[in-house]
Amino acid sequence: MFACSLCKHRPIFSSGLALALPLPRGFNWAAARREAVGGGPTFHAKEIALTMKPTAALRTILAGAVVAAVSGGGAVAASQGGDAITGLWSTGSQQGRVEIYRCGPSFCGKIVDAAPLRANPDHRDVKNPDRALRDRRLKGLVVLQGFAGGPREWKGGPLYDPETGEGAAKGTLTLRADGRLEVKGCKAAIFCRTKVWTRAR
């Protein structure tokens, strides 16, 4: 065992593991240090009780450290799982492709490709029910906004389908076991439409 003269709580080194443990009240560090340097195998009981009770305490500390490490790993895994929907998706209609990406704390989706765009890269949002928006370019048009959740389901909205000109205030994105993405938009609780997207190759 070795001393750390700069530590508030003296560290105990055992089998390569360093732990900073608070010392018992009245602990005589100088005497313990002299014995350690002199090759003594243990500290005196009156100076520090390194018997069954400290061992149990050490086990408790180690168990807490393991739980913290596992919890931290879980948080990282959840964070990574939250990005499972990012990337390029084929909508299955008009050879459309939508890119889902992070937009602040949530996820959004924008059109990056479609058959009409290949024929006319300047194609506009001509089916929008709002005449003031019909001059918007389809390429780069945001069609999903504000989705949050994970790792299998995200809720948010609004959503917009430029193919029909219909929109929905709220929706749900569900990542299925087969890797496909269900995109569900609802105007009301009982009036919803669902499409299934696949990962673009």
Domains assigned to the chain: 11-82 (no CATH), 86-199 (2.40.128.520)
In this predicted structure, what is the pLDDT of residue 173? 98
In this predicted structure, what is the pLDDT of residue 63? 45
State the average pLDDT over residues 56-70: 41
- Contact between 134 and 93 (Cβ < 8 Å): no
Nearest CA-CA partner of 149 in 76, 90, 78, 100: 78
Nearest CA-CA partner of 148 in 189, 179, 193, 103: 103
Report pLDDT digits (tens) over 153-198: 999 999 999 999 999 999 999 999 999 999 999 988 788 999 999 9
Residue 33's pLDDT band (cuts 50, 70, 90)? low
In this predicted structure, what is the pLDDT of residue 201? 73
Write out the two tokens for 122: 């300047």
State the average pLDDT over residues 1-22: 41
Report pLDDT digits (tens) over 10-20: 443 333 333 34
Whether the bond into 151 is cis, omega within 30 of 0: yes
Is pLDDT above 60 for 144? yes
- Contact between 143 and 132 (Cβ < 8 Å): no
What 3-state class would DSSP assign to 81? helix
Report pLDDT digits (tens) over 39-55: 544 444 343 333 334 44
Report the mean per-residue pLDDT for the chain.
74
CA 170 to chain centroid: 23
Residues in the chain: 201
Whether the bond into 158 is cis, omega within 30 of 0: yes
Long-range (24+ apart) CB contacts under 8 A made by 124-133 are: 125/162, 125/165, 127/162, 127/163, 127/164, 127/165, 128/162, 128/165, 129/165
- Contact between 156 and 147 (Cβ < 8 Å): yes
Is pLDDT above 80 for 125? yes
- Choose between 26 and 170: higher pLDDT: 170
Write out the two tokens for 196: 């299934």
State the average pLDDT over residues 72-91: 66
Q: What is the DSSP string of 133-178?
A: GTTSBSTT-EEEEEEEE-SSEEEE--EEETTTTEEESEEEEEE-TT
Residue 24's pLDDT band (cuts 50, 70, 90)? low
